[in-house]
Amino acid sequence: MTKSKVFLIVLVSAATFLLVYTPHFAYPFPSHIDEWHHITEAIKLQEGEYSGGTMGYRVGFHLLLLLLSKITNLVLIYQFLPAIWAVFSALALFYVVYNKTNKQFYIAFLAVIFFASIKSNVNITGLWFFTPLTFSIPFIFLYVYFFTEGIEKQNKKFILASLAIIITLLFVHSISVLFAIPFLLIYSLFNFTLLNGAKGNLTGFKYIKKEWKFFSLFLIIPIIGILFYKFITKVPWESLVRNLVQELQFRRGWGVLEIDNSPFELYSLIGYILAIIGLVFIFRSKKNIKKYLAYGLWPITVLILITIYRKTGVSYLSSYQRNLYYFVIGLPILSALGLNYLFKFTPLNLLRNYLTGLTKKKTLVVMVFIIVIFFTFKSYWEIPKQVDLYQVIDNDDYQALLFLSTLPKTVVMADPMVSVAMYPISQQEPVATLFFYGNRENAKMFFLLDGCKAKQQILNKYNVKYVLSKSQIDCGWDLIYDKKNYIYQYEKE
């Protein structure tokens, strides 16, 4: 690879970092309640207070955060993690596309640009946030690549690499494996029937039959998954299958906010058009089908699952919100293939042939590239109001929570939004947070009540020792902090 191409990779990586980091230019804290929640669970994992249950499916991610907290302030470093991981994901995608296209640099380069253009919002999440979903993205690219290359080239090392990544993801974000089952299964059936084997006329199916002991290793995936599920949930053996089937049906209401999202909330119109052209490129010849079939089946199968949800209110294998994101992250390679196909096999290429001189031809390519990039990123910051970014705490809240961290560990009453960040910063236990812990209605009601007696009844119920409030409370409690926030020490009567 030439120095100029290396420079382009460095340039697009830096641009990806800055683009993903932009929400934190003026906000140094995690910007989604999910991020604060994962920090909380990482700390609780160390303290032996891990919640288990559905959170246990992400224990690998929480373990990573715990290890990171040993070397740095996790709350303050978290602002950089989405951008850093977006770059890592982009480089993983570049590696996959570069090798899949037989080292066609500019297709891989374009795929990274389209990947960076994927938008985020607080409902579907995305690259702006560091969560198990975004942590899984580069590994999704890699396990799909190693699996397909391993099958096509009958390379056991690639297949084992894919297997290792899949097993790891079971402990980090299992649905990042489950969503891929349909298209990988269809892809495998196709290849088992049509691929030539390693020896003469030995078909792919006969190759699999011959190597059945090796391919039986993939039975490890459901076995580990089922055993892990049973360990986390402690479901009796006799109820295990029924519970698993129920867990893999995500009904409407599973998410915090259930809305029929527009497809343009996550990807640009020009990106979709080019992805469709990319699909045409894949299915136009047997050679392309053989090489890129999995990447064509990826968005098609996920789109079918999304359509089923829209019709029935049930999303299978993974939730509707996650399926939307899995659908979109499968598009950049198609958009890149589509744009490349647009240049080489369409009337645009004929127009290039009529131009005389290399400079004019390059000028046309550059003009089209600039137009595509403009429309790709034009709507990047257009976010529906109901799923727009929000700030959990401000610096005044952070200072108040730091003060609470110096006090004996107990229960604190605070606004449910501020309480989201309470345990990660102070290790104090909030009465309730906005979504994951406690009864937020009681916490909200506390600050709406007028009488001190009614407030005290709630404080007594939850054995509250300290009250953090945005405004003064005249109930005779000891005021121990008054720097734009007010912290009171409460003694139970």
Is 72 a residue whose pLDDT tops 70? yes
User: What's the pLDDT score for residue 445?
Assistant: 81
Is 255 a residue whose pLDDT tops 70? no
Is 187 a residue whose pLDDT tops 80? yes
Residues 6+ apart with CB under 8 A from 238: none
**What are the tokens at 454?**
């009614």
**Do residues 12 and 116 touch, judged by C-beta distance below 8 A?**
yes
- Read off the pLDDT of each residue in 240-257 and give the average, rounded to a whole number: 68
| Tens digits of residue pLDDT in 277-322 | 999 989 888 888 888 999 999 999 999 998 988 888 788 888 888 8
| Tens digits of residue pLDDT in 259-273 | 677 788 899 999 999
- Read off the pLDDT of each residue in 369-386 and give the average, rounded to a whole number: 85
pTM of the model: 0.88
Nearest Cα residue to 343 out of 402, 415, 286, 277: 277
Instruction: Tokens 């934190």: give the residue.
Output: 24
User: What's the pLDDT score for residue 19?
Assistant: 95
User: What's the pLDDT score for residue 333?
Assistant: 96
Strands 486-489 and 464-469: antiparallel
**What are the tokens at 242?**
């029924």
Q: What angle do CA 205, 207, 208 make, to 5 degrees?
A: 65
Instruction: Tokens 């449910």: give the residue.
Output: 416
Distance CA 212, CA 215 (A): 5
User: What's the pLDDT score for residue 253?
Assistant: 63
Weakest-pLDDT range from 33-37, 51-55, 314-318: 51-55
Nearest Cα residue to 184 out of 209, 165, 199: 165
pLDDT band at 202 (very low <50, low <70, confident <90, very high): very low
Is 474 a residue whose pLDDT tops 90? no
Domains of the chain plus CATH, in order, are 3-386 (no CATH), 395-489 (3.40.50.12610)
**What are the tokens at 351?**
């127009």
